[in-house]
Amino acid sequence: MSYSKETVKIAKEKLSDRRMSAIHYADLRREQLYKKIPRISEIESELSEIGAKVSLCILKGDRGSEEVAALSQRSLKLQEEENNLLYQHGSSPEALLPHFTCEKCCDTGYLEFEGKTVLCDCYKKLLTDTACEQLSAVSPLKLSTFEAFKLDKYSSYPDAQGKIPRDRMSKIFNYCRNYADSFSPNAKSILMRGATGLGKTHLSLAIANDLLKKGFSVVYVSAPDIIHKLEKEHFSGDYTGEEDSFKTLIDCDLLIVDDLGTEFKTPFSVSSMYNIFNTRILVDKPMIMNTNLSVSDLEETYSQRFVSRVMGSCDKLDFIGTDLRA
Radius of gyration of the chain (CA): 28
Q: Is this structure's pTM higher than 0.85?
A: no
Choose among 319, 311, 310, 315: nearest CA to 203: 319
176 — pLDDT class (breaks 50, 70, 90): very high
**Selected residue with higher pLDDT from 320 and 174:** 174
Q: What is the Cα–Cα distance from 284 to 87, expressed in whole angstroms?
A: 52
All domains of the chain in start order, with CATH: 5-119 (no CATH), 138-318 (3.40.50.300)
Q: Are strands 116-119 and 189-193 parallel, antiparallel or unpaired?
A: unpaired
Buried b (16+ CB within 10 A) or exposed e, 191-217: bbbbeebbbbbbbbbbbbbbbbeeebb
| Amino acid in the structure at residue 194 | G
Q: Above 50 in pLDDT, residue 5?
A: yes
The DSSP result for 147-211, as a single string, is TT--GGGS-SS--TTS--HHHHHHHHHHHHHHHHHT--TTPPEEEEE--TTSSHHHHHHHHHHHH
pLDDT of 60: 78
The DSSP result for 288-315, as a single string, is EEEESS-HHHHHHHS-HHHHHHHHTTEE
Q: Above 50 in pLDDT, residue 1?
A: no
pLDDT of 77: 92
Q: Average pLDDT of 170-193?
A: 94
Q: Average pLDDT of 130-144?
A: 67
Give the containing element (helix H, strand E) for 38: helix 38-59
pLDDT in tens, 280-292: 999 999 999 999 9
pLDDT in tens, 189-232: 999 999 888 999 999 989 988 888 888 888 888 898 888 888 88
For residue 301, the Cα-to-chain-centroid distance in whole angstroms is 32
112 — pLDDT class (breaks 50, 70, 90): confident
| Amino acid in the structure at residue 201 | T
pLDDT cut 70: percent of the chain above it: 94
